[in-house]
């Protein structure tokens, strides 16, 4: 654990050093690329403002992650246990991926308004397919030996599903959830860019329009930290769940 923290600190220091070197050597003006010092100062000066908008974005991301993951899990279970569902729902899932999710953001804002739910639905749409696909693949790739043993022991279809197929598919589900933790902030922020009055995406647009590039980068840094923290939390939760059930 300590080695991992030290490695993260080292990588962060290297990236900050490269950032400052680029600004200094290229003699970039602050309105093009502010240095790490200016961004840190903007983050400190506007901590309350950024914290409020970060809380809004985090609420959108968390709601979208929970709803999208739950919907993906239920859909994958339905696809794995019903041939009719596979014939009807699976082609529709593939078709939805032919539509750019980002292009739906203006439509969702028009239908649901500038509040929370248009951003939550954007996050749901962007993570729904990865979670469904990863869990469904895991359910359909249960080791044949496990299923043969269950058949020999005369297990019911429900018992085979919950005691064999689902535990065997948990690593696949964990991969889908880790991807969802990274993708969910993207959906929420895109929704904020299209239309919002709160959130880090809104703050970035507002700062850019007022030529406060240091504030825009500060909001971007906070968004990156939020995404990394969410990914770490989801990864640890998945590791614990997999270790208990597999």
Tell me which of 153 and 218 has the higher pLDDT. 218
Q: How buried is residue 18: exposed, middle or buried, by Cβ count under 10 Å (0-12/13-18/19+)? A: exposed
Q: Is pLDDT of 13 > 90? A: no
User: Rounded to 5, what percent of the chain is helix, strand, coil?
Assistant: 85, 0, 15
What are the two backbone dihedrals, phi and then psi, of residue 26, each rounded to the nearest 5 degrees?
Answer: -85, -5
Question: Any idea which residue has 């292009």 for tokens?
Answer: 103
Task: Encode pLDDT of 70-118 as tens digits.
Answer: 999 999 999 999 888 888 888 888 777 777 777 888 888 888 888 889 9
pTM of the full structure = 0.90
Spatial CA neighbour of 34 closest among 46, 16, 51: 16
Band (pLDDT 50/70/90 cuts) for residue 237 is very high
Q: Is pLDDT of 5 > 80? A: no
Structure tokens that stand for 64 in this block: 């979208």
Band (pLDDT 50/70/90 cuts) for residue 231 is very high
Tell me which of 222 and 149 has the higher pLDDT. 222
The reported pLDDT for the residue numbered 2 is: 62
Taken in order 66, 72, 74, 77, the sign of the CA dihedral is negative
The reported pLDDT for the residue numbered 200 is: 95
Tell me which of 229 and 105 has the higher pLDDT. 229
Task: Encode pLDDT of 161-202 as tens digits.
Answer: 898 899 999 999 999 999 999 999 999 999 999 888 899 999
**What residue spans of 26-104 are helical by DSSP H?**
36-45, 47-81, 83-98
């Amino acid at each position: 654990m300590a080695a991992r923290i030290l490695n993260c600190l080292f990588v962060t220091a290297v990236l900050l050093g490269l950032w400052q070197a680029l600004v200094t050597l290229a003699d970039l003006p602050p309105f093009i690329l502010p240095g790490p010092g200016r961004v840190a100062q903007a983050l400190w000066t506007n901590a309350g403002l950024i914290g409020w908008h970060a809380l809004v974005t985090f609420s959108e991301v968390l709601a979208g992650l929970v709803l999208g993951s739950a919907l993906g899990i239920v859909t994958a279970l339905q696809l794995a246990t019903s041939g009719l569902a596979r014939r009807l729902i699976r082609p529709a899932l593939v078709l939805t991926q032919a539509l750019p999710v980002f292009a739906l953001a203006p439509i969702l804002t028009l239908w649901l308004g500038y509040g929370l739910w248009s951003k939550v639905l954007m996050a749901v749409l962007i993570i729904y397919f990865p979670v469904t696909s990863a869990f469904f693949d895991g359910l359909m790739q249960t080791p044949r030996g496990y299923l043969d043993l269950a058949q020999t022991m005369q297990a019911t279809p429900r018992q085979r599903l919950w005691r064999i197929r689902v535990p065997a598919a948990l690593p696949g589900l964990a991969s889908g959830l880790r991807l969802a933790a990274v993708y969910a902030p993207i959906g929420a922020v895109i929704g904020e860019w299209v239309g919002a009055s709160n959130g880090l995406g809104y703050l970035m647009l507002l700062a850019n329009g007022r030529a406060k590039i240091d504030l825009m980068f500060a909001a971007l840094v906070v968004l990156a930290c939020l995404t990394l923290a969410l990914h770490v939390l989801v990864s640890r939760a998945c590791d614990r769940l997999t270790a208990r059930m597999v």
